[in-house]
Amino acid sequence: MSIILTTLNARYAHTSLGLRYLAANMGELESQTQIVEFIIGGNITAMAETLLAKNPRIIGLSVYIWNIEDATKLVALLKRLAPEVSIILGGPEVSHEAEEQEIVRQADYVITGWGDVTFPALCQQLWRGETPSQKINIGEQPRLESIAMPYRFYTDEDIAHRTIYVEASRGCPFKCEFCISSLDKTAWRFDLDLFLQEMEMLYVRGARQFKFVDRTFNLNTQVSRRILQFFLDKIAAHPDDPVFAHFEVVPDHLPDALKELIAQFPAGTLQLEIGVQTFNPDVQALISRKQNNERSAENIRWLIAHSHAHLHADLIAGLPGEDLDSFARGFDRLVAVGPHEIQFGILKRLRGTPIIRHTEAFGLVFDPNPPYTILATDRIDFVTMQRLVRFARFWDMIANSGRFANTLPIILGESPFARFLTLSDWLYAKTRATHQIALARLATLVASWLTEQGMNPEDARAAIDSDYAGSAIKPHLSRKAKSEPVAPQRQAMHLTAKSPEA
């Protein structure tokens, strides 16, 4: 008999840090515990077969906004095939509003919030044949120094082929109402010496890509400097075998002590995810977000001018109180600042987040199905919101892909948002699709649109050819040189709490 820890990741490259924390803290049950990860969109019956072949007594399933639909089907199938197996749910999606969810009704037990201590304790009860007194259990939040580190549970295959997620802290001191971390009281730091020892062991085992899931990496300058220096030392010692590190930072806190180290990272070794979200101060106040916009823009410009860091900035459309003109001004401002990528996200209603308090006052209409995307507000109607959804998709394909680097400035002109929205509307009218558009066809369409906008056809063709060689429009420039480590694919923005849960 065994205890299985499982989840459905968004893609193969992703790994579940939360499951590895649970495995590391199972105590005397660790030898009976194993991790099995799947990918959403797979064969649910085959998943059930794989799990049941391991003769489980307990199955712990991490549930997130991206896997809730497949997870619900999997639990229903498991309870039909093996009703004697105890299924314990955890994760952000079932940590709030649990009673109303079908997956909770079908499962045996639920742990809300932190699972590091509560999940092993619940398993101990079940292993002894005891019946827990309640179905829904509030996760105990232990002191971080009492939590065993999870990093030994990354396998050699994980290190070779998948994203290695790490965290030097949990929680967040900010109260942005669209984010599940707004429910945290503060941020808590792991013992830095112990954490860096774990990073050293991962490095010795061959890990070269480290994605930090800390909500705000640059909160404590002294801690941030030590971590940055750790990676700089590795790069200096082995310049032909560099590491790649990804951090999420707040944009308006970049003291000189951090700039000094960030400027030392060579190209292709550092990525910063910068949460701008909105430049509208009234909207910021409404959603309890504190941000100095001038300082944020200044810091991004400094990073562009004085560092080799790859900058990935986030904006959210559909926030309460923000209309299309306001979002357009914020978008244009961010384009002018110049980050390498702009992640154009659409607001989601994450379970438990305070954003719903604005529902009536601002006419917020959310899709009742995952991922609970905003459909309309009193400032942006449904039709316009759908245009923004398509804008976001085409922006990824054209701007964030890096495949139209020379053509993009021509597309955007002096009014980036208005110009790209026009292109987005035109592309959708021509294709009636936002997915499965071949790259060659997309490039041809962009050239045609430029021509319709009044550009000389030969100049439009030359612009495209500056990015793509030959009449077949095949890329001649890769986004990153083969010698550079590829940035790990980000998990969907703000879809889950960064602190691992059962």
- What's the CATH architecture for 154-401? Alpha-Beta Horseshoe (3.80)
**Strands ordered across the beta sheet of 164-166:** 164-166, 209-212, 244-249, 270-277, 310-317, 341-346
Tell me what pLDDT residue 489 has. 35
The token pair at 210 is: 């480290």
Tell me what pLDDT residue 494 has. 32
The token pair at 123 is: 């398993």
| 72 half-sphere exposure, CB direction, 13 A CA radius | 15
d(CA 227, CA 208): 15
d(CA 161, CA 157): 6
Instruction: Name the pTM for this structure.
Output: 0.91
Under 8 Å between Cβ of 39 and 96: no
Which residue's entry shows tokens 């075998």?
A: 241
Count the neighbouring beta carbons within 10 Å of the beta carbon of residue 462.
Answer: 13
Identity at 463, one-letter amino acid code: A
Tell me what pLDDT residue 487 has. 37
261-283 per-position pLDDT tens digit: 999 999 999 999 999 999 999 99
Q: What is the CATH number of domain 2-144?
A: 3.40.50.280
Say what angle helices 439-452 and 416-431 make with each other, to 10 degrees.
120
d(CA 308, CA 270): 8
The alpha carbon of residue 467 and the mean position of all alpha carbons in its chain are separated, in whole angstroms, by 29
Q: Which residues of the chain have pLDDT under 50?
A: 469-502
Which residue's entry shows tokens 């619900």?
A: 72
Tell me what pLDDT residue 186 has. 87
Tell me what pLDDT residue 500 has. 35
Q: What are the residue ranges spanned by the domains of the chain?
A: 2-144, 154-401
